[in-house]
Amino acid sequence: MSKQSERASYTDLAHQGLKNAPLQKGLRGIQQRYGQGALHIWDSFADPSLRKRVKAKRESTLAHLDIVLEELTKNIEQRGGNVFFAPTAQDAVNYVLDLASKKEVQRVVKGKSMTSAEIGMDEALEQAGIKVVETDLGEYIVQLNQDTASHIIAPCIHLDRKQIGRLFHEKLDIPYTDDPPTLTQEARKALRKELLSADMGITGCNIACAETGHISLVSNEGNIRMATTMPKIHVALMGMERVAATLDEHASLLQLLTRGAALQKLSTYVSFQGGPSEKGSPDGPEEFHLVIIDNGRSKILADPDFQEVLSCIRCGACLNICPVYGRIGGHAYNSPYSGPIGAVITPLLHGINNHADLCKGETLCGACKEVCPVENDLPRMLSVLRHKLAYGDPQWNVTPHNKSEHRFFSLWSRLVRTPKLYHILIRLSGVLQRPFLSRDNMVSKLPGKFHGWTTTRDLPPIAESSFRQKWLQNKIASKNVVRKGQKD
Amino acid sequence: MNNHEMFFNKLHSICSQNQGQRTAATFAELAEAHKQIACPVTDSSEPIQQDVVALFQHNATPLNLHVHRCSDWQDAAATIAAIAQQAGLEFTAQKEIIAHDHPDLRQLDLGPLLAKQRIPFHLTSGNGAEIQKNTRNSFIGITAADWGVAESATLIQLTTEGRPRSTSLVPSIHIGVLPINRLLATLEQAYAMLMNIPLPDSFVFISGPSKTADIEAHMVHGAHGPKEMHTILVDTEGKAV
Ligand code: SF4
pLDDT in tens, A1-10: 334 446 889 9
Same domain? B10 vs B121: no
Question: How confident is the model over B117-129, as a mean pLDDT?
Answer: 94
pLDDT of residue B38: 76
**DSSP string computed for A149-160:** -SSSSSTTTTS-
Residue A202 CA to its chain's centroid (Å): 21
Same domain? B25 vs B70: no
Same domain? B183 vs B75: yes
CB of B3 closer than 8 Å to CB of A84:
yes
Residue A482: pLDDT over 80? no
Instruction: Please answer yes or no on whether B165 and A284 come within 8 Å at the CB atom.
Output: yes
CA–CA separation, A339 vs A344, rounded Å? 9
Residue B72 lies in a domain: yes
Q: In Å, how far are A14, A25, A141 from A31, measured between CA atoms?
A: 18, 10, 21
Same domain? B61 vs B10: no
Atom 4 of ligand 1 has which residue's CA nearest to it? A318
Instruction: Please answer yes or no on whether A188 and B132 come within 8 Å at the CB atom.
Output: no
pLDDT of residue A3: 42
CA–CA separation, A57 vs A437, rounded Å? 57
Same domain? B112 vs B22: no
Query: Which CATH number belongs to the domain containing residue B221 in this structure?
Result: 3.40.50.10420
Is B231 an 8 Å CB contact of chain A?
no
Per the prediction, chain A carries an average pLDDT of 93
CB of A395 closer than 8 Å to CB of A348:
no
Q: Which domain holds residue B14?
A: 3-35
Same domain? B172 vs B74: yes
CB of B110 closer than 8 Å to CB of B81:
yes
ipTM over 0.90: yes
Domain locations along chain A? 49-295, 403-472
Ligand 1, atom nearest to A317 Cα: 3
Instruction: Please answer yes or no on whether B217 and A26 come within 8 Å at the CB atom.
Output: yes
Same domain? B13 vs B94: no
Show which of residues 279-298 on chain A sit within 8 Å of chain B, judged by CB atoms: 280-284, 288, 292, 294, 298
State the smallest CA–CA distance between residue A434 and chain B in angstroms.
51
The pTM assigned to this predicted structure is 0.91
Same domain? B129 vs B159: yes
Residue B121 lies in a domain: yes
Residue B40 lies in a domain: no
Is B40 an 8 Å CB contact of chain A?
yes
N-terminal to C-terminal alpha carbon distance within chain A: 83
N-terminal to C-terminal alpha carbon distance within chain B: 50
pLDDT in tens, B226-235: 999 999 999 9
Is B48 an 8 Å CB contact of chain A?
no
A445 φ, ψ to 5°?
-155, 110
Q: Which residues of A touch B206 (CB under 8 A)?
A: 268-269
Residue B177 CA to its chain's centroid (Å): 10
Which one, of A367, A449, A350, lies nearest residue A408 by Cα?
A449
pLDDT of residue A156: 94
Same domain? B56 vs B24: no
**Does the beta carbon of A315 sit less than 6 angstroms from any atom of ligand 1?**
yes
Q: Provide the domain count of chain B.
A: 2
Residue A159: pLDDT over 70? yes
Show which of residues 81-120 on chain A sit within 8 Å of chain B, judged by CB atoms: 81, 83-85, 87
Atom 6 of ligand 1 has which residue's CA nearest to it? A312
CATH topology of domain A49-295: Rossmann fold (3.40.50)
Same domain? B11 vs B119: no
Q: Is A141 exposed, middle or buried (0-12, 13-18, 19+ CB in 10 A)?
A: buried
Is B89 an 8 Å CB contact of chain A?
no
Which one, of A278, A138, A273, lies nearest residue A202 by Cα?
A273
Same domain? B121 vs B80: yes
Q: In Å, how far are A30, A47, A332, A361, A368 from A322, measured between CA atoms?
A: 11, 25, 14, 11, 6
Same domain? B129 vs B81: yes
Q: Which residues of B touch A64 (CB under 8 A)?
A: 15, 22, 24, 27, 30
Residue A464: pLDDT over 90? no
Q: What is the DSSP letter of B19?
A: T
Task: For strands B121-123 and A131-134, give the pairing.
Answer: unpaired
The Å distance, Cα A260 to ligand 1 centre, comes to 8
pLDDT in tens, A323-377: 999 999 999 999 999 999 999 999 999 999 999 999 999 999 999 999 999 999 9
Pick B34's closest partner by Cβ from A33, A47, A60: A60
Residue B42 lies in a domain: no
Length of chain A: 488
Residue A211: pLDDT over 50? yes
Which one, of A370, A379, A314, A378, lies nearest residue A38 by Cα?
A370
Q: Which residues of B touch A50 (CB under 8 A)?
A: 39-41
pLDDT of residue A442: 87
